[in-house]
Structure 1
Amino acid sequence: MLHNHVFLRKTKKGSVAKIVKEHYLRTDIACGSKACTTCTPCKRANLAEALPPFPGSQVGEYIVPDTNVLFHHLDVIEHPSISNLVILQTVLEELRHRSFQCFQRVRRLIDDPDRHFYVFSNDFHAETYVPEPAATASTTAVAESPNDRNDRAIRRAVQWYNAHLAALHLGAVLVTNDVANRQLAVNDGIPALSLRDFVQKLPGSVPLLDMLGAAGDDPTAPSSKDAVADASRLATVYPEHAAPASIQAGIATGVYQMGTLHISPHNFQEATLLADVNKQRVEVLISGRMDLNRAMDGDVVAFQLFPKEQWKSIVSKVQEQEDDDEAVGSDADAVDDDDDDDDDDDAAADANASASSESLLMPTARVVGIVKRNWRPLCGTLEAPPGFKQHVDAAREHVIDPIQSAFFWPIDKRMPKVRVRTRQLRHLLGQRIVVALDAWPQNSRYPTGHFVRVLGAVGDRAAESEALLLEHDIAHAPFNARVLACLPHQGDRWTVDVDTIDKPDRVDLRHLAICSIDPPGCTDIDDALHARPLPNGNIEAGVHIADVSYFVKPDTPMDIEASQRCTSVYLVDKRIDMLPTLLGTNLCSLRSNVDRLAFSCVWEMTPAGEVVSTRFHKSMIRSQASFTYDEAQARINDTSMNDTLSTNVRLLNQLAKALRKRRIAAGAVTLASPEVKFRLDDKEQQDPVDVEMKELMESNQLVEEFMLLANIHVARKIQQAFPDAAMLRCHPAPPSNRFDALIRAVGQRGFPMVVDTSKHLSDSLDAIQLPEDPYFNKLVRIMTTRCMQQAAYICAGSVNPSGYWHYGLATDIYTHFTSPIRRYADLIVHRMLHAAILRDGQLARDRMKRLADVLNVRHRNAQMASRASIVLFTNLFFRNKPATEEAYILRVLKNAVIVLIPKYGIENAVVLPKASLAKCDFDEKDIAITWPADAASQTRAGKLALFQKIKVHIEIVHQGPEAAQRLQLQLTLVDPPLPAA
C-alpha cells in the first residue's frame, strides 16, 4: 500500500515548492506475540504466549512504554522483573535521536530473548500508521506538533494491539508519565497507566519504587521534597542557568565559550577547561560552588571568562570531601548566597595576594549554563542520617519502611554528595550501591538521585570490581547468543582453506620467517614482524596484523557489539574482550606454527631506515615463533645465535634504532609514566602479593617503532583514498600555560625548558640530567606527560589538514591500524585500507564523525578503568602491610604535596596536618612550603619543594562517615619532619 505525504515548502529563493513523499505501508507486519495465530509467522516473535491477568484487568497485558519512560527511567525497564514490552518503532527512533547511549541499552534488551522485548514497526503497518502533522492539519486549525503526532501514533498502536489480541484474552497497556497523553488514551478507551502506578501493581515493587525516585509523574520535576520547599522562605542557592537560546547567542557573539569540564581529582570544587584567551588556547580555572554552578565532571558547559584582575593563583589546595555537617532532609540544604564554602573566600584572597606576580595567575571563568550533561550511574555508599536505628525487631523485618532521606557518597571524589530517598535504608547501609542522578535544582545545595541496585558489601573485592566497571561504563556482560552465532561454525577447528589463499587480493607469505614479540602470557597476538636483506643492499621489513575484518563483517550482531564496546579493557586481574574469546585468543591471534589470515604492510628500506617503497595487501602467514620481550632481547644481545629468526630480529632492531633516531630528530617527544604490574597469587582469590615496575627494553622499542611506522603509512593511504571520511588519530599541542609551573621548577634547578614546539620540548627534556639523581629525568618526563592533551580519534573531513598533526610523535598524520583484536578503530581502518586498495566503496563523513566521538569516550573510559583497577589492587596490597618508602614531590599545594612513589608507581596526595601548617609559610615565588627551626620542639628548619626526595608512610585507612566508610590509601610525611603542633 502506498501513502503519499504532500506538503508545501518555501524555498531559499522565496518560491513555494510542492513536496511529495511516498510512504509504503504493509499489512503483514506481525504483532510479535507467540500466541497469535492470525499474523504472518514471524521468526523473531518474542512476546510470551500466555500472561497472567494484570492486577485490575481481565486480560494479560503487554506493556507499551512511551519515549519519556524509556529515556528517564531506563534503570527500571532494565530490571529483570520487567518483561513483555512492545517497543514501537516510533519510540525507538525518537529515543535514538535523543540519546544514542539509551538507544544502545534498549537494543541490548531487545536482543535478549529471555526479556521478551519486541520491536513493532507501527509506522509501516497499514492499520497503525499515523500521517505526519503537515498532512493532516487544516489551514485554520493549530498545527499538531511532532511530539503530539508521536503520542497519537503510540495510542493508535496500543488500540490496535487490544483489538487484535482480544480473542486471545490478551491486550496491551500504555505506560506514560504524560498526564495529558494518559487522559487522551482513557477518552479513547485505551488502557493507560503512569510508570509509578504500573510498578506498584507488580509483586515485590519496593526496589522498583526506589528506582523511580520521588519524581512522580513528571520526570522533569525535582526528585526530592527537601529541594522544593516554599520559595518564599528559601533563598536561591545557585545562579540560574542561561536559557539555550541565550547560550547560543552568547557563543555566537564571543561573550560565552563552550568546553568540557574536568574536575580536579584533589579538589572537588575546582575544575579546568580549555578556552581561547588573547587568541591562544589555554587552560582556564573554575573554582568554588557558585562559579561551578552545578556542573559536574565531563559536562559540556557554557562559560564566561572573568577580567584579568579576577584571575586566581595557579596554586590550589587538597579538598577531597565535604566538611559541613548538614542535617539530611532539613532546610539547611537551601542556604543563602553568602553561606558558600570558605574555600571560595580563600581562593579570592590568594588571588589578591598574588596579583603582583602575573606568572602565578591563571585565567578564571564561571559556568553560565549546561550544554550537555554527562550524568552516569554512580557507585558508592549511603550515610545514615542522625539518630537512625539500623537494627529493628525480627518481627518487623519484612515491614516496608517509610521513605527516608540519606546522603549518598560516591566513590569518585570528584562527584558531589547526592540526596537519595529510599524505603530500604536499613538494608542498604554498609552496601556498595548504584545511584542514578535525577536533577540538581537551583535551590538545592546537592543533586538528587534514586537507588538503582546493590553490588555487594563495602570492601568486598567482587563488589568493588563491579563498581569499577560500572563507574566507567564498561560493557562486561557475556556475549549474547546472536553475537556468538556469528563465529565460524567449526569453532576452534577452523582452518584457512585453499579458496582463501587463491583470492587475488590475498598473498601467501607463509614462506617468510615471521615472528611475534609480546609480553609474557599474551594470548591476543595482534601483530607479527619479519625482515630480510634484499640483493640491492636494502632491507625488506613487514608488519603483519591479524585480519579481524575477515571474521567481523559490517552490521552483523558481532560488529554492532564490537562498535559498542570499542576496545578491550585490561584490568589487573582480568581482561574484558571486545570480541569473543574464540576470535581474540585463537582464530585471529597470530600464534606460531599455524596458518593465519593477516593484513600486511611491507616496506623496502635503506639500512638507515629510509622508506623506499610501501605496499599493502591481505595475506596468509605462518608465524615461526612467539617470542616474549625477554626472549627477543636475548636474541638481540647474543650475536652467537645465527639462526634465521635471531638474525632477522637483530635486523629489525637495527632498523628500529634508525627509525627512532629519525623520529627524535623530527621532534618526537619521549615521555614516561610510572607503569607497574602486580604479581597475583595462584589461588582463586587472585590477591596481589608483589608489585614491580615494568621494564622497557630494546625489544619493546623495536615493536613500537614498526607499529608507529605502519600506522603512519596506513593513515596516508586511507586519507588519500577517503579525504572526507578517513579515521585518523591526532594529538593536539598542549595549552601553553600548562607548562608554566614546570618551567619555573626546572628553571630553579638550572635547566631552561622551551615548549613552543615538540622539537624544542624534546631537546629540552634530553638536556635535563642530574648525575647525582638518574631518576630526575624520568620524573620530569612524567610531569611533562601530565601537561599534555589527550590524543583523540577524528574524521579527516571534520577538521583542516593541519588538525591531523600528532604532537607527541611529530608526524603530520597518524591512525590506529595495528591492534584490531582489541580496538574497534583499527578494525574500521582495516576496512578503509582494503577499500582503498581495491579503489572501491564510499564512506559517510557524518557516520565516521559520530563513530570517532564514541571511540574517544570508550577509549578514555577503558584507560580510566585500567587505572582504577591498579588503585583498587594497590589498596588490597597495602591493606595489611603498611610501609615507608621514598617518594618524589610532583606538585606543591597550599595544604599538601602530590608525590610519586617510584617503587609502586603510586601517585597520591600527602595532606599536611593543619596544626603543622600553622607554623609553615607558603613561598609563592619558589612554590614551596617552608618552616623555620623551632628549638622548643627540637624541629630543624625544613622545606617541601618540587622534585624533592622525601619519605612517606603508606597505609590503608577508613575514610568518610561511619556508615559510608571507604578504604583509602593514606600517605603521611615521615622525612623531613614537620614542626610539632
Structure 2
Amino acid sequence: MLTISDVTVAHISKLFRLGCYDTDHIFRVDKGFVAQIQSIYAGAVTKTLSQECSTEAMKTVPAEFTSIRHVRGILSMGRTEDPNSGGSSFSMLLGRAAHLDNEYTVFGKVMEGDEVLAALEQVETRKEGIFVMPKQRITITRATLDGPDLEPKLSEGAERYYVLDTNVVLHQIDLLERPALTDVIVLQTVLDEVRHNKLSVYKRLRSIIADEQRRFHVFCNEFHRETFVARRPGESPNDRNDRAIRVATQWYQSQLGEEAGVEVLLLTNDAENRRLARDAGLKCESIHEHVRARADAAELMDLQAGLTAGELHQGKLNISRHNSRQGAVFVSSLKGHTSILLRGDEALNRAIDGDIVAVRLLPEAEWTDQVDSKLADRAALAAADDDEEDGAGERDMGAMPFAADLETAVPKRLGEDLCSLHEKVDRLAFSVIWVVDHEANVISTKVAKTVIRSVAALSYEQAQLRMDDARLVDPLTESLRTLNRLAKALKAKRAASGALSLASPEVRFVLDSETRDPTDVAMYNLKEANSMAEEFMLLANITQARYFSSGTLTPADYLHYGLAAPIYTHFTSPIRRYADQMAHRLLAAIIQWEAVPREALDTSAATELIDNLNQRHTLAQHAGRASVALHTLIFFRAKATEEDAYVIKVRENGVVVLVPRYGIEGIVYVAARGERSAFAYDAKTDALIAPGCTLRTFDKVRVAISVDQSRAHRPKLQLAIIEPVLPRA
C-alpha cells in the first residue's frame, strides 16, 4: 500500500485485519479497465459478519486525491457521485484510466501477482447496464493483510533502517529534514500521535515522506495482524503506543534477520522506552546519542538546527574570577538546569568572558553540578578578642527554641541583619563549594571566605511553592528543583548507609499580643524545602570536619551513629551556637586565612569550654521542651477539646497516642490505677485486646484533651480515648 492516502489505507487495512473481505467476490471484470471488489455491507459475503466488521464496513472515508496516475496494478477506491463516499469497494486497475485521475482515491498498488490480473481478464463476462460482470461468481476465499514490502532496499552503503518514536518527530523535526538521514520507517502509531499533537509538524513530516530520495517509508502497524497491540487494562495511552512502537521495531528486525549486516535502530528520547526496548533485545538510541556517534554529524546538524533540536544550548559565558580555565554558560533551554559548567581549555575552545556561545553537552553520566553552602561569616564581624566575644563560650546556650520566639546568643543587629543573607545585598560568608555529578557524588570540594549577593531570600514555604508550580521555569525555580533532586539523592544515600530518621513533632504557638497567652497551637509542617536545606547543611558539617586532622578523641569516636557519617562537627549555625563559631575560626586557620585562635592552643581550656557548651546545649533543649509544655497547659487549661489521634506505641497498661493537630504525644491508660483492666496484652501481635475492642499501632482513635488540675502545684495534660469506647472490667 502507498503512504499518501493514509486515512484510506488505515480504513481498508482494518477491514482486511478483521477478515471482512473473506467470502466477498469480484463482481466486475472489465478487460483493460478494472476488476472491482463488491462492497462488504451490500450482502456480497456469504458468512455472518461480526458486529465490529459490520460497523467498520458501513463507514466512509474522505477523498484523498493525488497526482498518482491510474495505470495497471493501481488500487483505487470505489464511490458514488459523492467524492467522500468511499466505503469498502475498490478496484484493481487492468489498464490506463486517465479519466479517473484526481477523481478517485489511489491507495495501493499490486506489487506481485500480475498473472492473477491477466487471468481475471480471461474470464467469461456479461454486460449488465454500465457494468461488465463475470458470468460465474469469483469468490475471495480469504483476504489477509501481509506486512509491508521492504522495497525499496536500503540506500547504497547504508547499514540500517531507523524507526522513529513520536517524541523524536515532535522535537527534532528540523533534524529529520536534513538530507543526511535516510531509510526511515515511520509507523502509523507515530503519524497519528504527531497529527494529534502538532499539525504543523505532521505536515512537515508528510513532505519528507513524499520526497522519494529521502526514503521515509510508512508502515501501517496499527492494521497489521502481527504488529497490532491492544491496550492492556490500566495501561495509559502513551504506554500502549510506546509498546506498539517496540513491537513494530521487533517485527521489522525479525523480517530483516536473514539479511547480513542490516539492523533496525529505534530512535527515542524516552529513557523508559529505551530501557524496555533494550530489555526486549532491541537496538535503540536517543537522537542525541545517535547524532554524536555519526561520522557525518557536522553534515547532519548545523548550528541553528542543533539549537532547535536541543542538541546544542546557547548562552552567555562567565569565566570564573578564581580560575581562568573554568566558566559557566547560563541557559534557559536545559530543563532542570540553569547553567552548564565548562572546565579546561578544550571545553572553553578559545571563548572569553562575555561571549555568546553554543555548547554541546557531555554524556549525562559525566554531568556535574556546582553547589554552594554559604554561612554568614560571624567571625569576620566579631573577632576572637572583641568584648562581645569575651566569655561567650561560657554563657552560650545555643538557640533556645521557646514556644513563640527563638532566643539567640548574639545581638539582634548581628544575628538578624549583618549575619543574615538578605536578597541582593552584599554579605561576608564562609562557603563550602562542591562539584557533584548527576547522582550527587561529590567530585571536588573547596572552602573559602567569600563575598556573596543572594539572588533571592525565600522562606521554606515560598521555596516549596516555587518548586511545586509547574508553570514556573525561571532560572531561580529550576535551580531549586536541581538542589532538591540532589538533596533527595544525598538523603537516599544516608538512608542506605543506615542513617536514622529521628525527627519529632515541632509545636508552634500563636500568642496573644498583650497577654502572651497561647491562642492557637499546631504542629509545624515540614516540607521538601526543609529537607533540602537540611541535607546540604549536613553535608557542609561533614565536609568541613574532614579538614580537622587531630582531636582529644580517637578516630573511632568521630563516627556519627544517627547520621551514619564517618565524621561530623558543628559548622552551619555560627549565629546560634558558639561551637560552630569555634569551628569557623579553626577552619579559617587551616585554610591560612587567619592565625590559629588563642583558645584552640590550650587543649585543657578548649576541652573545658566544649564540655560547658555540651552541658548548656542540653539545658537549652530542656528549657525549650519545658516552654512548650507550659504553653500547652496554658492553652488547654480552660479549653477541653476532642481531636483525632493515632496509636504510635502499645504498652501492657495503655497506648501512646499522637494528636497531629497539636503535635501532642501522650499515654492513655486503659484502666485507672488500682482497677482491673478489661484488656490483655498480646505480645505476638503487639496489641491490647478486650471483648469488642482491640488497640494496635497506627489505629485511629478519638481523644479528649484536658488539663488535670487536681494537684494545684503540678497540673498535667490528660488524654482519654472516647472512640472507640474502652470496655471496663
Q: TM-score, normalised by structure 1?
A: 0.35
Q: Which one scores higher on RCO, CA 8 angstroms, separation ≥ 6?
A: 1
Task: Give 1 or 2 for the bigger CA radius of gyration.
Answer: 2
Q: TM-score, normalised by structure 2?
A: 0.47
